[in-house]
Structure 1
Amino acid sequence: MNIIKLRNYREISFEAAKIIRDQVLLKPQSVIGFATGSTPIGTYEELINIFNKDLITFENVKSFNLDEYYGINPMNKNSYNYFMKNNLFNYIDIKEENINIPNGLAEDVEKECEEYERKIHEAGGIDLQLLGIGRNGHIGFNEPCEEFKAHTHLVELKDDTIKANSRFFDSLEDVPTKAISMGVKTIMSARKIILIASGEEKAEIIRETVYGSITPNLPASILQLHDDVTLIVDEESGKYI
């Protein structure tokens, strides 16, 4: 695991954006896995800046998002579909047909998950996957559990995840209790992975991710087994590594 420790959130956002930029420059038809949540927002702002300077084009890039809330309309301001468009896709030249986000309104969830896996396979797999990390060690919405879930699947969200995400909603009761998420095997199949973390509240879980036992009770720990992971942290989140 390659560890890059920088001073602050702005620096980790810029570093992550540079790695994504370089991936697209080297392979214009790259398949990029994108993440949501508050941590990647700075990275997306930097990517927009890079795009606006004519230093990159996403015209031939395909994207696959890690997850989406289940039972939420894609036009809802708290959906991850809305998040990605409002924070990145509306401001770059990626083609609409190349954007892939799980359908949170799918009537047949199992079929939706299988179809999502098929699309990733047909795209040639994910070249670079961007990850954040939850305070309980989840990646995507792969929550702590008894065994790693391999492929895209429906997740029952833990109470602490629901509580953490309630800051984006009007009330705790409005937060969906389920989500569709890429599985651990799907994430680990990406050729390159970037994990970004910021803030002192992530310091303990980052230490366990890097030095702890590999266990489904801390899903991010599986990244220790990947051949090409770059962990980008600021001083606060990386103070124990």
Structure 2
Amino acid sequence: MEILIRTNAASVATAAADIISDYAGRGATLGLATGSTPVAMYKELITRYQRGELSFSQCQAFLLDEYIGLPRGHEQSYFATIRREFTHHVDIDDARVYSPDGTAENPDEAGAAYDEAIAAAGGIDIQVLGVGTDGHIGFNEPGSSLSSGTRMKTLHASTISDNARFFDSTSAVPVHVLTQGLGTISRAGHLMLLATGSNKAEAVAALAEGPLSAICPASILQLHPHATVIVDEAAAEQLRHADYYRFTEANKPSWQGH
């Protein structure tokens, strides 16, 4: 696991956009996350596209998750959100931006079909991740199986509370979701997790330096052969080995790449 510590949220977004830009140039299959943390990265990528510096025309993308019961046209569906925040502003083919079917009659079958679609596409080259204050990634709440596939999950009360800001009330937040499982996420070629703010510091320390545990689903990154964690100073404040991570980056061989 490579841990990159940046001064602030803006520099986290820039570092993440540098990595995604490299993959876009190769026509990669992207794993996209919604939520607040990646938005600044998406804005930076849109700006670079508008300046003519990169293209997503050869890319395809898969989303991490979707609410169960929300039609795709609902403004808070992740199908609609990723288009509003990112993909409608660049040249990726909208038909090549996929998400789990939260309106499917049988969520288990929809989850299995989504994993099959990812495999048929050749797998995800780089998966963007955020992390919840309780250590969840995607909607894999604490206690999730470390080898799980895409399936239905019941949201934790804290996650519902966190997401209520996007809805008219807490009661309007769907309780169930379809989410890529930890096993699905782990099959991506490169995992890139972003975290900013002191409220994420405990989760960042747990995922990077704590035990591998289903109680901290993001700790699954410890098993991955190519995982990059990009955090600001505030999110890094509980890392015991922060000085070593800075030293490692400063002495990284030029041939090693992202």
- Bin the TM-score by the shorter chain: over 0.9
User: Quick one: structure 1 residues 146 and 48, their matched pair in 2 at CA, closer, same or farther if it must change by over 3 Å?
Assistant: closer
Distance 1:19 1:237 in 2: 20
Q: Alpha-carbon deviation of 1:147?
A: 3.2
Q: Determine which of 218, 236, 241 is the counterpart of 1:220.
A: 218
Q: Alpha-carbon deviation of 1:146?
A: 5.9
Q: Alpha-carbon deviation of 1:206?
A: 0.5
Which secondary structure does the structure 2 equivalent of 1:112 belong to?
A: helix
Q: Determine which of 156, 181, 189 is the counterpart of 1:191.
A: 189
Distance 1:43 1:63 in 2: 16
Which secondary structure does the structure 1 equivalent of 2:46 belong to?
A: helix
User: Quick one: structure 1 residues 18 and 239, their matched pair in 2 at CA, closer, same or farther if it must change by over 3 Å?
Assistant: same
> Which has the higher mean CA deviation after the structures are superposed, 126-135 or 68-77?
68-77
Q: Deviations over 1:104-161 (max 9, x none)?
A: 1111212211111111001100100000001110000001116335110000101111
Is 1:78 equivalent to 2:59 in the alignment? no
Query: Unpaired segments of 5 or more residues in structure 1?
Result: none
Corresponding letter in the other structure for 2:67: Y
1:13 corresponds to: 13
Corresponding letter in the other structure for 1:22: D
Q: Determine which of 101, 104, 123 is the counterpart of 2:99.
A: 101
Distance 1:86 1:69 in 2: 17
Corresponding letter in the other structure for 2:74: N
Distance 1:97 1:235 in 2: 38
- The within-5 A match list for 1:196-215 is 196-215=194-213
Q: Is the 8 A contact 1:68 1:103 kept in 2?
A: yes
Q: Is the 8 A contact 1:142 1:149 kept in 2?
A: no
Distance 2:2 2:145 in 1: 26
Which secondary structure does the structure 2 equivalent of 1:113 belong to?
A: helix
Q: CA RMSD in A?
A: 1.0
Q: Is the 8 A contact 2:144 2:217 kept in 1?
A: no
Distance 1:214 1:168 in 2: 32
Distance 2:46 2:121 in 1: 24
Residue correspondences, number: 239
User: Quick one: structure 1 residues 65 and 146, their matched pair in 2 at CA, closer, same or farther if it must change by over 3 Å?
Assistant: closer
Q: Determine which of 150, 154, 157 is the counterpart of 2:152.
A: 154
Distance 2:127 2:164 in 1: 25
Query: Unpaired segments of 5 or more residues in structure 2?
Result: 240-258
TM-score by length of 2: 0.91
TM-score by length of 1: 0.97
Aligned-pair identity in percent equals 37
Distance 2:64 2:139 in 1: 8
Corresponding letter in the other structure for 1:15: A
Corresponding letter in the other structure for 2:18: K
2:243 corresponds to: none
